[in-house]
Amino acid sequence: MSDAPEPLRKVFTLRTEEKFTRTNARPGEDDPAGANDVRAWRADQMDIEHRAGVDELLPPEAPPSNRRRRDLWTLLIANNLFFGSVVYFGQGNPLMLACGTAGMVMGSVGVYWILYHIMSKY
């Protein structure tokens, strides 16, 4: 091992003087650079938008049709009629009761999941 001395620690201090050019006014002073006024720039932009006609509000679009809700109710009724009839006509058979009930639950949840979570809006 060498007996080289360790380098001295660097001491960091805060500077109180400014090493940059100030473009905005200090609090309580007038603005020296009028080109950086945000409100004036935004007023110019709004004037340009107004002259171009892009700031006018358009009427809201028509609401989408409710075909998805209609399809949901159609499939739910068809599914529950089918599996409900399996439960009704299979009275006394526990397998038919279990399969019919499971079909109604899985079919209802499945139809909802497919129509509202997997398919895109149509």
Residue 54 lies in a domain: no
As for how many domains the chain has, the answer is 1
Per residue in 33-83, pLDDT tens?
556 677 888 999 999 988 998 878 888 887 777 889 999 999 999 999 999
Within-domain flag for 3? no
Q: Is residue 84 part of a domain?
A: yes
Residue 21 counted as domain residue: no
**Residue 85's pLDDT is what?**
96
pTM: 0.48
Residue environment code for 5-35, b if the CB has 16+ CB neighbours within 10 A, otherwise e: eeeeeeeeeeeeeeeeeeeeeeeeeeeeeee
- Any domain includes 13: no
| Domain span at 99 | 67-118
Q: Residue 17 domain-assigned?
A: no
Higher pLDDT, 21 or 94: 94
Does residue 112 lie within any of the structural domains? yes
Instruction: Supply the pLDDT for residue 1.
Output: 57
Would 19 be classed as within a structural domain? Answer: no
Round the average pLDDT of the chain to a whole number and report it.
Answer: 86
Model pLDDT, residue 19: 76
